[in-house]
């Protein structure tokens, strides 16, 4: 299929990024569409691909969640219990499939991101790696033995529980489900609620970043001890460059050489890293998924 | 290989269980050998298999750790940084391989256990499942997409960090590396150090078990949010039957219906379960590994 082009969609709570791409990983054309109610948003998404001048052979969608990824389920491809009411129980994959009648692959936005990083970015040639986003929420995607991790549903890595020293940080956490889970303590909105200022506005030497690094380091320990990844990639608006040195140092200190791997004990600068694909990881993941959807459909 | 018999070894800190088994999962003969220094212990292990009257076509070993599982490493198959000094840097897989000159597969004791449970026990037909042992230490093994999870090294699930309310439980934890990590707070020795009595001697309604269930429930939340397993199997000496109802209730309550799967919200009695193979899981895992080692060697 030398002339194939693929449709990639990064479906987010504030915007949809849509792109036309080639199997080389190059993007021909892309657009940002603000997320409104599904009917309006999807009309714009479909119009973009219909008017791009080339037939799309498959789509890949990395979406906000939770989403139903069980192929046998009657609501496969639906966004499920999201707090965004108008999107609840919306058939995201089916809407695209019916509009174009080509294969459509769907996964979480963070699984799309780790897939793109494993194909073209910071997780190339790795078998097991994590992509974590720290922004409006905290989410994590993983490849294990080279494949996206699913399981019972999909991981919800932002909702792990970590130590919370109330004497140091009396902020109770703002997760509506769990209070002071990781997302409740360390997401962008938690930083803003605790300090009154957004992370992007705080000076780099503000104590907020030490606390943030400490919380994320507890999370790194838990993900490392549970999944044993070969690399952790951190993206999202909160992950400013000055957090990385704090996060690496604190993670290494908490692990205390127990996980005896030189990647951690000697080369942690290359173990906890920003995305190589920057904010393109999500949409490029959609592209990787579309390519794999057409391969499956070719059988 | 209709006449093949396999050698299975569960290598533990206090005993080695050795067994001769068939590909059906049936054990013909087995022995328990107390763990002493490597030379004495391994001499007994080798003698048992040499004197069993049948040629062994492959071995599978589930071992205490940490162990080096990187095939490319010069110390592949070695026990590495264990606190048991005489076993440190001991070539466990190589010792068996040189004695019998047949394929030898090695994995962690907990990966062996989940492999056996997935073949013959409580994780049959599941793609993603966990086996956790709570005893002298706390360890976890996983299958993901049907295969044992490795990664950078192997998981060290007992060393995750969880909330610790010092007002309720002033016990500082006894992990020599991390203090109050999960193992430091909830292993058998932690219970004994905190209450002065071993878990097996405490009455079933002792408050110790509520605290234990709370710590293990935090850990369940973290493993569920990170790996999304289809089932969690809990074995080990601390996991007495009366802990299970407390652990299930507390896990469900902490997750608060956020992970929206009926396996958790409606059928948690079948989601957090004891091993179907009881204390045979480890040695049967060795058998499953031996079978797979001979298949690989047949290529």
Residue, of B66 and A115, whose pLDDT is higher:
A115
Burial of A19 (0-12, 13-18, 19+ CB in 10 A): buried
Cβ contact A104:A58 at 8 Å: yes
Could you say which of B127, B144, B222 has the minimum Cβ distance to residue A161? B222
Tell me if residue B181 falls in helix, strand or coil.
coil
DSSP state of A67: B
Tens digit of pLDDT for each residue in B90-113? 999 999 999 999 999 999 999 999
Tens digit of pLDDT for each residue in B188-208? 999 999 999 999 999 999 999
Please check the confidence at residue A298 and state whether its pLDDT lies above 80.
Answer: no
Other Cβ atoms closer than 10 A to B90 = 20
Please check the confidence at residue B152 and state whether its pLDDT lies above 70.
Answer: yes
Sequence-ordered list of residues with C-beta below 8 angstroms from that of B257, at least 6 positions apart, any chain: A177, B265
Distance in Å, alpha carbon of A150 to nearest chain B alpha carbon: 7
Q: How large is the average pLDDT for residues A104-118?
A: 96
Tell me if residue B173 falls in helix, strand or coil.
coil
Domains of chain B are 6-108+279-296 (3.30.420.40), 122-274 (3.30.420.40)
Helix (H) / strand (E) containing A114: helix A109-120
Q: Enumerate residues 28 to 87 of chain A having a beta carbon within 8 A of any beta carbon in chain B.
A: 66, 80-81
Chain B residue numbers with beta carbons less than 8 Å from the beta carbon of A218 are 161
Compute the distance between CA of residue B225 and CA of residue A99 in angstroms, rounded to an integer.
34
pLDDT at B66: 86
DSSP state of B196: S
DSSP state of B115: H
> What rounded mean pLDDT belongs to chain A?
94
Six-digit token string for B233: 């199997």
Helix (H) / strand (E) containing A109: helix A109-120
Contact yes or no for B151 and A228 at CB 8 A: yes
Please check the confidence at residue B1 and state whether its pLDDT lies above 60.
Answer: no
Predicted complex ipTM:
0.94
Confidence of residue A299 (pLDDT cuts 50, 70, 90): very low
DSSP state of B74: T
pTM: 0.95
3-state helix, strand, coil in chain B (%, to 5): 40, 20, 40
Please check the confidence at residue B297 and state whether its pLDDT lies above 80.
Answer: no
Tens digit of pLDDT for each residue in A9-37? 999 989 999 999 998 889 999 999 999 99
Cβ contact B132:B113 at 8 Å: no
Place of tokens 């791009």: A52
Tens digit of pLDDT for each residue in A186-232? 999 999 999 999 999 999 999 999 999 999 999 999 999 999 999 99
Place of tokens 């915007």: A15
Compute the distance between CA of residue B69 and CA of residue B156 in angstroms, rounded to an integer.
14
DSSP β-bridge partners for residue B7? B20, B59
Q: Which CA distances in Å does B74 have to A133, B15, B78? A: 36, 27, 9
Compute the distance between CA of residue A149 and CA of residue A2 in angstroms, rounded to an integer.
30
Backbone angles phi, psi at A168, to 5 degrees: -80, -35
Compute the distance between CA of residue A111 and CA of residue A154 in angstroms, rounded to an integer.
9
pLDDT at B298: 57
DSSP β-bridge partners for residue B132? B140, B234
Contact yes or no for B144 and A151 at CB 8 A: yes
Q: Measured between CB atoms, does B176 come within 8 Å of chain A?
A: no
Please give the residue of chain B at the shortest CA–CA distance from A225. B156
Nearest to B165 by CA among A164, A184, A160, A215: A164
Nearest to B165 by CA among B216, B211, B209: B211
Backbone angles phi, psi at A27, to 5 degrees: -100, 125
Compute the distance between CA of residue A136 and CA of residue A187 in angstroms, rounded to an integer.
6
- Alpha helix stretches (DSSP H) within A8-89: 38-50
Tell me if residue B159 falls in helix, strand or coil.
helix
Cβ contact A281:A117 at 8 Å: yes
């Amino acid at each position: 299929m030398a002339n194939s082009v693929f449709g990639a969609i990064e479906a987010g709570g504030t915007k949809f990024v849509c792109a036309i791409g080639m199997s080389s990983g190059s993007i021909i054309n892309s657009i940002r569409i603000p997320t409104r109610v599904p009917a309006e948003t999807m009309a714009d998404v479909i119009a973009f691909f219909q008017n791009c001048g080339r037939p799309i052979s498959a789509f890949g969608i990395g979406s906000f969640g939770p989403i139903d990824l069980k192929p046998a389920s009657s609501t496969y491809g639906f966004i499920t219990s999201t707090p965004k009411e108008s999107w609840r129980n919306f058939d995201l994959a089916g809407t695209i499939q019916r509009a174009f009648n080509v294969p459509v692959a769907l996964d979480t936005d963070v699984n799309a991101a780790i897939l793109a990083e494993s194909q073209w970015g910071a997780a190339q040639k790795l078998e097991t790696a994590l992509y974590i986003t720290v922004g409006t929420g905290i989410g994590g995607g993983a490849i294990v033995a080279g494949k996206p991790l699913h399981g019972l549903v999909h991981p919800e890595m932002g909702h792990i529980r970590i130590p919370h020293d109330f004497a140091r940080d009396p902020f109770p956490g703002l997760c509506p489900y769990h209070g002071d889970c990781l997302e409740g303590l360390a997401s962008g909105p938690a930083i803003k609620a605790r300090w009154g200022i957004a992370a992007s506005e705080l000076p780099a030497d503000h104590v907020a970043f030490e606390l943030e690094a400490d919380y994320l380091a507890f999370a790194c320990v838990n993900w490392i001890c549970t999944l044993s990844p070969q690399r952790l990639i951190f993206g999202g608006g909160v992950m400013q460059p000055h957090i990385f040195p704090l996060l690496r140092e604190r993670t290494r200190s908490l692990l205390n050489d127990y996980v005896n791997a030189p990647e951690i004990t000697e080369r942690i600068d290359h173990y906890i890293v920003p995305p190589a694909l920057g904010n393109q990881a999500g949409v490029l993941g959609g592209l990787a998924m579309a390519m794999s959807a057409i391969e499956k459909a070719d059988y």
